[in-house]
Structure 1
């Protein structure tokens, strides 16, 4: 039902966005480095719950809209491309933030960690636009069942985001320490992720 190119496109976008600066990553890294891996994993559980809320809510509404107004996909494609370009600029500009620029935070109990992860994701404009303006453009109206396509592609994005975030949570302390003493590697990370986002934006805009 879903073309391989759509799957690869969503995987590429998911990788570019999960590794670009944002509230989710900064919160998870901060928790992992200040309170330990267990706190980071619990926080990631809250982030995952937020993804599911967006997945269900966005796709139920978008399925109805796409059926009524197919031309909406064109507007969504342009908006998504512009947003990716904006993320690329934020990453590449002088003084741009790194996902490993951590902050010291006080320890919190598991329930609060989970709820803070949930709210961080729900209030993250990057994730809202991801589900409203980027993933939907990979839906093919000619293949039918846009709801199932949207949920499947969103599920792929969640899987990529959680795997990458879990890997970073488990290694956050070592990675943050290494990058803080090797600024050239930190610049390379920003340059790579920013360039990837820019390429994805241009590809989506002219496809």
Structure 2
């Protein structure tokens, strides 16, 4: 694997990570509720660490070559997105200060941000697409290069680093810009919830 492959993967990966989705919605909601953003981001990254381990073990190639298995994983992720999107729309997050003033209008502070983050990223269809469809295209199978498992691990670690940097930035900006604007915070979280519903529905229709 040469530097050109790494740079090409980095550019595409950053583009995918910067597209708002379930991870963004969770980080923003966590920031607005006053929960620890780094813990939530660590959970998200750990979910992708699991993907990296499975892909390094060769499961990426196996899943990519098994339409039924890929469909099952995608449907599971889509179902989780639908549930999460509906939950966000039903009870949109508001800044922690506003929640203190209006106890009946906000969801309680999330007490397991790491675990929920790991579940979200572990079932995120965008993550499945990256690891089981996009990543194998950047592996060099011929010539004097690193073994395929080592290349897979390197690309997976690069994706995890991109996620950590982008999601920490998103969480800190959300807390700084929306903390004093409950109406804007509700609008942002409702938009994220609607987006998750739309993505989940689209994935189900496409796969089923």
What is the TM-score of this pair, normalised by structure 1? 0.61
2:117 alignment counterpart: 117
The alpha-carbon distance between structure 1 residues 103 and 3, as it changes in their structure 2 partners (threshold 3 A), is farther
| 1:17-53 deviation per Cα after TM superposition (whole angstroms, max 9, x unaligned) | 11112111110111112225xx221111111110110
1:60 alignment counterpart: 57
Q: Distance in 1 between matches of 2:130 and 2:162?
A: 14
2:172 alignment counterpart: 170
Q: Distance in 1 between matches of 2:156 and 2:175?
A: 29
Shift of 1:108: 2.1
Q: Distance in 2 between matches of 1:175 and 1:14?
A: 26
2:43 alignment counterpart: 46
2:31 alignment counterpart: 32
The alpha-carbon distance between structure 1 residues 176 and 9, as it changes in their structure 2 partners (threshold 3 A), is farther
Q: Distance in 2 between matches of 1:20 and 1:34?
A: 22
Shift of 1:144: 4.8
Q: Distance in 1 between matches of 2:92 and 2:38?
A: 17
What residue ranges of structure 1 are gaps of 5+ in the alignment? 66-71, 73-100, 187-207
Q: Is the 8 A contact 1:63 1:146 kept in 2?
A: no
Q: How many residues align?
A: 147
What residue ranges of structure 2 are gaps of 5+ in the alignment? 66-88, 94-106, 189-208
The alpha-carbon distance between structure 1 residues 106 and 13, as it changes in their structure 2 partners (threshold 3 A), is farther
| 1:32-82 deviation per Cα after TM superposition (whole angstroms, max 9, x unaligned) | 12225xx221111111110110000022125876xxxxxx7xxxxxxxxxx
Q: Is the 8 A contact 2:60 2:131 kept in 1?
A: no
Question: What is the root-mean-square deviation of aligned Cα atoms in Å?
Answer: 3.2
Q: Is the 8 A contact 2:10 2:158 kept in 1?
A: yes
Runs of 4 or more above 6 Å deviation: none
Q: Distance in 2 between matches of 1:63 and 1:35?
A: 36
Alignment of 1:46-195 (within 5 A): 46-62=43-59, 103-104=92-93, 105-109=107-111, 112-142=112-142, 143-176=145-178
What is the TM-score of this pair, normalised by structure 2? 0.61
1:190 alignment counterpart: none
Q: Is the 8 A contact 1:51 1:121 kept in 2?
A: yes
